[in-house]
Amino acid sequence: MSSTTPTLKLFELVDGKTRKISFSPAVWRAKFALNYKKVSYESVPLNFLEIPIAIPAACPNVVSPTVPTLQLENGQGLMDSLAIAEYLEEKYPDRPSLFGKSLSEKNLHMFFQSYVQAKINPSIQRMVYQNMYAMQDPDTAHYFRTSREKSSGRPHHEIGGNLKENMTELRENLGLIHTALRSGEWVSGAHPSWADFVLAATFVWFDSCSPKEFQEGVLDAFDDQVMRNYWLKVQQYIY
């Protein structure tokens, strides 16, 4: 990061016990974008219960807070990782592009984002559920459990589903991505882009919460080094 004093603040989600594990894929999309653009910022770690209190207190324009929220130089809060990426793209046009030079290129990034959200994230979400729950302190664990039971319509012990079935689903849906990465380059070519950071953010989430399953389900999912080599390249933007 830049050595200058950061004027931007990124509100992000951390675990309730150690307050050191940043696991939200939505937050990591924004962090990757900031890191790739080499934009200096200060991280503000919050647990689930602190989000609705701390963000509106810091950013008066935010009524229904979510993470990530980026507090801009004027004190206003900008929510949603895509909105943050678009803001960075407009503000720093001289720095490496996240979306490419044309609308058609950006549309492809949006398609890839939709694919990851619809085909990759669901099986991972089920596999990390119990570990995410275990990472919380009692108050945040209660919130996490009850909110997930309500949103899923399933009891706590059923939300994770069957591990073998989840692994099979993940591997099948990673197949097209694996094929695209066999060139040894990034998703969209010689340089990383928004599509890469969407995928990498999901991998950070998986690895942060369930490292054993991440290794089996992603790094060792195929009989080559493609996914492992890709993950190694991603590390330069994780900080």
Q: What is the pLDDT of residues 7-29, one digit of tens each?
A: 899 999 999 999 999 999 999 99
Q: pLDDT digit string (tens) for 99-156?
A: 999 999 999 999 999 999 999 999 999 999 999 999 999 999 999 999 999 999 999 9
User: What is the reported pLDDT for 7?
Assistant: 87
Sequence-distant (≥ 6) Cβ neighbours of residue 193 within 8 angstroms: 97, 98, 99, 100, 109, 186, 187
Residues 108 and 200 in one domain: yes
- CATH code for the domain of 193: 1.20.1050.10
8 Å CB contact between 133 and 144: yes
Burial 163-174 (b: 16+ CB within 10 A, else e): eeebbebbbebb
pLDDT of 6 higher than 80: no
Burial 117-138 (b: 16+ CB within 10 A, else e): eebbbebbbbbbbebbbebbee
Residues 64 and 177 in one domain: no
Q: pLDDT digit string (tens) for 147-200?
A: 999 999 999 999 999 999 999 999 999 999 999 999 999 998 999 999 999 999
8 Å CB contact between 59 and 77: yes
Query: Phi and psi of 220, rounded to 5°?
Result: -110, 20
Residues 81 and 183 in one domain: no
Domain that holds residue 111: 103-237
Indicate the residue among 45, 62, 91 that finishes a domain: 91
108 is a domain residue: yes
Quick one: how far is CA 16 from the chain centroid? Answer: 18
Residues 134 and 201 in one domain: yes
Residues 68 and 126 in one domain: no
Residues 175 and 82 in one domain: no
pTM to 2 decimal places: 0.95
Residues 68 and 149 in one domain: no
150 is a domain residue: yes
Residues 85 and 107 in one domain: no
